[in-house]
């Protein structure tokens, strides 16, 4: 039955029943009452028939609204109510589907978020993200430990008010460190004045307005590292000191024995001991290099520049190395100018530099080769050049040559000596003395190392034409070893 | 004994047996009167007991170290003409300055010197420099 027919029926009954009632009231009360009750019953039955599906729909809609997405209606009235019911069920299907999708996306978002949180909290470095107003947007567990502020205390706070970073006495603010590729160690003062030494590096994010992240701070606690580094340095220092004591005895006794037995013992026998002595001295040089590197790293390398006569120093070093050159059948040629002005240098340290350069030259020069040591005076500097006809240094190795522990890897085995510390130490010493060291080399042709030392009394620039920097040979007063 | 070397009295304070014995041997051979001590306290006691012309003093010593010994001695004998040469190890530059402030005249780095070079330094200190070992002296 169609809805409009039901409605028409109800309406006609509503008019007919009172009409009939009023008609019979006059004649017979009993009949009138009977008819009235009957009419009321029929009417209420009809009303029930009409309203039941509507009520179902209302209840179902309420249920659906309360989140019961399985709610469906079952109206089989074969009228418009059934059609509305079907539409309702269709809508419920769609809503349920949309809701399920939303739930799934929410789960994914939660999983992503917890993944991010887990990653962030497992990072040893403190990470703090700032928004465009330089307020704290995010901070991880390590940041809590470093700064002392919990996430709840930190979030939303202006970073410059909460966390103070100092480089020396100067405070570094977010406007300074929120720049691309900022990387510097700093003293961090956090909650209740808590202090930590950190390495602060930042990255600035440009144009990502959605996330509202402007800048990310990475705080690396370096206090622990410094402690470990100190332990390492202490150990190297202690170990080298312990190695040195027995070496001193070995060298001392051997040199006394050799000196006292010249002419008494056959030279071939003495040569055996001479080789032991040379090896012990090499070992001592290694120990000394380790100690020197240790001191450079501790910033305890003492290099004191004073006005000195350079010639006796370099002559003594070359005299000491003469044996080594002779043994390898390499010519060591020294051509000092007749007169040298005083230079500013540390006598002990500069001896180490010359020893290192010349010993390297001997080491990397084949038998029959030649090493020239020359001096050149310029208005302000004295340039010492050590050139050899050795195996040379590959081009790609030259930029790394003065780095600590660097060794040229493709050198032939016969020259495979050393720790890769000598040039590093030499460069530190020369630079501390206000000079510079440089190298020129060609593979299989040879190498030239030059370093400058400031003159004790400098002439005004330009009064004397300075010579070319490298390799100028001065022939006067040649001294051949 | 070297007849050309006036008999000067030297005290060597050095805890390393082998080094001490070697230096005593070489110095005695050169004609010096050498006594030795193995630690700071016995060294100081010997300095109190008799006068020496030169003190060869190791810095790292068990108990009282070389600098403490020197400070103690200089406090008690501010006008002593005794010459002091510090025996140091590689890497002790920082303490050398303190030694000079306490009146030491020179220092030797044990590992870098042969015993003969040590003897030469002693001679230079006592009789004036005639040999060229310029870089070890305090300037």
Judged against a pLDDT cut of 50, whether residue A237 lies above it is answered with yes
The pairing of strands A306-308 and A195-204 is: unpaired
- From chain A, pick out residues whose CB is under 8 angstroms from the CB of B88: none
- With b for 16 or more beta-carbon neighbours within 10 A and e for fewer, the A375-385 pattern comes to bbbbeebbbbb
The pairing of strands A479-480 and B106-109 is: unpaired
Q: How far is CA A176 from CA A160, A168, A202, A478, B28, in A?
A: 11, 15, 10, 59, 69
Please give the pLDDT value at position A21.
66
Optimal mutation site among A252, A286, A353, interface B, most CBs of chain B within 10 A: A252
Interface residues on A facing B, Cβ-Cβ cutoff 8 A: 237, 240-241, 244-245, 247-249, 251-253, 255-256, 259, 284, 287-288, 291-292, 294-295, 300, 302, 306, 308-309, 312-313, 316, 347-348, 351
- From chain B, pick out residues whose CB is under 8 angstroms from the CB of A294: 91
Please give the pLDDT value at position A470.
33
Please give the pLDDT value at position A414.
46
Judged against a pLDDT cut of 70, whether residue A452 lies above it is answered with yes
- From chain B, pick out residues whose CB is under 8 angstroms from the CB of A309: 134
Judged against a pLDDT cut of 50, whether residue A459 lies above it is answered with yes
Q: Hey, are the CB atoms on B111 and A249 less than 8 Å from each other?
A: no
* Mean pLDDT within A271-295: 87
Please give the pLDDT value at position A156.
93
Task: Tell me whether residue A463 is exposed, middle or buried, using C-beta atoms within 10 angstroms of its C-beta: 0 to 12, 13 to 18, 19 or more.
Answer: exposed
Judged against a pLDDT cut of 50, whether residue B50 lies above it is answered with yes
Interface predicted TM-score of the whole assembly (ipTM), two decimals: 0.80
Q: Each residue of A105-155: pLDDT tens digit? A: 999 999 998 998 899 989 989 999 998 889 999 999 999 999 999 989 999
Host H or E run for residue B68: helix B66-76
With H, G, I as helix, E, B as strand and everything else as coil, classify residue A402.
coil
The pairing of strands A215-221 and A126-130 is: antiparallel
Give the rounded percent of residues in chain A with a pLDDT score beyond 70: 85
- Cα dihedral sign, A299-A300-A305-A310: negative
Please give the pLDDT value at position A198.
92
- From chain A, pick out residues whose CB is under 8 angstroms from the CB of B131: none
Report the residue count for chain B: 139
**What global pTM score does this model have?**
0.56
Of A7-16, A105-114, B28-37, B76-85, where does mean pLDDT reach its minimum? A7-16
Q: Each residue of A188-233: pLDDT tens digit? A: 999 998 888 999 999 888 666 677 888 999 999 988 888 888 888 8
- What integer best gives the mean pLDDT of chain A? 83
- From chain A, pick out residues whose CB is under 8 angstroms from the CB of B94: 300, 302
Judged against a pLDDT cut of 90, whether residue B55 lies above it is answered with yes
**Torsion angle, alpha carbons of A45, A48, A53, A58, to 10:** 180
Q: Each residue of A167-196: pLDDT tens digit? A: 888 999 988 898 877 888 899 999 998 888
Please give the pLDDT value at position A429.
92
Among A73-82, A396-405, A459-468, B114-123, which range has the highest average pLDDT?
A: B114-123
CA–CA gap between residue A314 and residue A451 (Å, rounded): 13
Could you say which of B91, B110, B116 has the minimum Cβ distance to residue A295?
B91
Q: Each residue of B91-130: pLDDT tens digit? A: 566 688 888 888 899 888 888 788 888 999 999 899 875 4
- With b for 16 or more beta-carbon neighbours within 10 A and e for fewer, the A229-260 pattern comes to eeeebeebbeebbebbbebbbbbbbbbbebee
Please give the pLDDT value at position A2.
57
Judged against a pLDDT cut of 90, whether residue A266 lies above it is answered with yes
Please give the pLDDT value at position B132.
41
Could you say which of B91, B94, B135 has the minimum Cβ distance to residue A351?
B135
Q: A1 or A221, which is more confident?
A: A221
Please give the pLDDT value at position B53.
95
Q: Each residue of A54-97: pLDDT tens digit? A: 888 888 889 888 888 888 888 887 888 888 888 989 998 998 89
C-beta separation of A382 from A453 below 8 A: yes
Nearest to A363 by CA among A394, A315, A325, A332: A325
CA–CA gap between residue A133 and residue B58 (Å, rounded): 64
Please give the pLDDT value at position A437.
95
């Amino acid at each position: 039955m169609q809805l409009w027919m039901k409605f028409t029926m109800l309406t006609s009954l509503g008019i007919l029943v009172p009409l009939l009632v009023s008609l019979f009231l006059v004649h017979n009360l009993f009949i009138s009452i009977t008819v009235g009750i009957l009419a009321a019953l029929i009417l209420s039955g009809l009303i029930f028939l009409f309203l039941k599906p509507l009520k179902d729909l209302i209840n179902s809609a309420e249920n659906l609204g309360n989140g019961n997405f399985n709610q469906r209606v079952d109206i089989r009235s074969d009228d418009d109510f059934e059609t509305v019911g079907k539409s309702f069920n269709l809508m419920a299907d769609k809503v349920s589907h949309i809701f399920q999708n939303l739930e799934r996306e929410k789960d994914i978002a939660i999983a992503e978020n917890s993944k991010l949180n887990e990653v962030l909290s497992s990072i040893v470095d403190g990470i703090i993200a700032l928004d465009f107003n330089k307020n704290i947007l995010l901070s991880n567990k390590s940041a809590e430990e470093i700064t002392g502020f919990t996430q709840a205390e930190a979030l939303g706070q202006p970073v410059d008010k909460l966390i103070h970073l100092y480089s020396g006495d100067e405070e570094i603010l977010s406007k300074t460190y929120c720049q691309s590729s900022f990387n510097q160690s700093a003293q961090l003062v956090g909650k209740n004045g808590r202090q930590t030494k950190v390495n602060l590096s930042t990255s600035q994010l440009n144009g990502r307005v959605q996330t509202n992240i402007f800048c990310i701070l990475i705080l690396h606690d370096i206090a622990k590292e410094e402690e470990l580094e100190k332990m390492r340095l202490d150990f190297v220092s202690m170990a080298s000191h312990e190695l040195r004591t027995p070496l001193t005895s070995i060298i001392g006794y051997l040199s006394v024995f050799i000196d006292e037995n010249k002419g008494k013992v056959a030279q071939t026998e003495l040569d055996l001991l001479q080789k032991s002595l040379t090896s012990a001295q090499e070992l001592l040089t290694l120990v000394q290099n380790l100690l020197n590197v240790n001191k450079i790293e501790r910033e305890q390398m003492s290099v004191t520049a004073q006005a000195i006569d350079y010639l006796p120093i370099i002559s003594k070093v070359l005299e000491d190395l003469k044996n080594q050159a002779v043994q390898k059948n390499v010519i060591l040629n020294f051509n000092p100018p007749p007169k040298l002005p005083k230079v500013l240098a540390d006598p002990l340290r500069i001896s180490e530099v010359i020893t290192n350069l010349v010993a390297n030259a001997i080491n990397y020069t084949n038998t029959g080769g030649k090493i020239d040591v020359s001096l050149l005076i310029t208005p302000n500097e004295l340039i010492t050049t050590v050139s050899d006809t050795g195996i040379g240094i590959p081009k790609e190795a030259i930029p790394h040559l003065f780095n600590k522990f660097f060794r040229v890897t493709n050198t032939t085995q016969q020259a495979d000596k050393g720790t890769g510390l000598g040039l590093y130490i030499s460069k530190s010493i020369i630079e501390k003395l206000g000079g510079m060291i440089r190298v020129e080399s060609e593979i299989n042709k040879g190498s030239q190392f030059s370093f400058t030392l400031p003159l004790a009394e400098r002439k005004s620039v330009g009064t004397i034409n300075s010579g070319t920097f490298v390799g100028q040979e001065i022939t006067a007063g040649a001294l051949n070893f | 004994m070297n007849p050309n070397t006036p008999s000067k009295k030297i005290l060597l304070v050095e805890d390393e047996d082998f080094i001490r014995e070697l230096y005593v041997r070489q110095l005695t051979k050169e004609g010096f009167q050498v006594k030795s001590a193995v630690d700071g306290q016995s060294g100081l006691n010997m300095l109190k007991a008799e006068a020496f012309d030169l003190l060869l003093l190791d810095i790292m010593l068990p108990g009282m170290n070389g600098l403490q010994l020197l400070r103690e001695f200089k406090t008690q004998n501010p006008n002593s003409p005794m010459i002091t040469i510090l025996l140091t190890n590689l890497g002790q530059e920082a303490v050398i300055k303190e030694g000079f402030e306490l009146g030491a005249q020179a220092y030797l780095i044990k590992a870098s010197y042969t015993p003969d070079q040590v003897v030469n330094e002693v001679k230079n200190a006592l009789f004036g420099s005639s040999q060229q070992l310029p870089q070890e002296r305090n300037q």
